[in-house]
Structure 1
Amino acid sequence: MDPTPTTQFITYCAEQEFGEDAEVTRVRDEQGRAPCRDNKYLIVSAQKNFYEFKGLVNINGITFGFKAKTFKAKQPEWIFTPEALRKEHKSST
């Protein structure tokens, strides 16, 4: 996996959520592309005090959608949702 700051941050969040031994692979955008300049390194919002990231990641062999924020003055926040639940929710709306 590429060592961009984005992948390092998402790996950190996943390890905090699932344990330090979590196997984190394939951080990418909704189209399957790794964090890069073209997809703004998965940044969906940049404000004065935080950056917000959104995409997909494999954790322990399961695909999760994620949203994560990193702040200047407080601890990061994140949420991981299994992709199967995300697809189920999209089809029911």
Structure 2
Amino acid sequence: MSTFIVFTRESTQDQEALDTYMNLVGPTLEGHTVNVLSSYGALETLEGEEPEGAVIVEFPTKAAARAWYDSPAYQQVVQYRFKGAKYRALMVDGN
């Protein structure tokens, strides 16, 4: 069963740190089976407050999603995202 991680950027705090994250995050996906379904495409908010942007990535399993998210490579890079912006990150099982 596929698992999706949905990231919504709620507000930018430090553009330089966020730019660093954006430049470094791609290589952390190498070696992982992942499909980037959407990355900051046009969005339309149907309910709630509109985020600045959203990213949706698909992994083949929950274990695969956790393997990437918990990997040393991503954990080193994610610190720039934490500093750069307020995000919401959700892991959702597919059907």
TM-score (norm 1): 0.30
| Higher helix proportion (structure 1 or 2) | 2
| Higher strand proportion (structure 1 or 2) | 1
TM-score (norm 2): 0.29
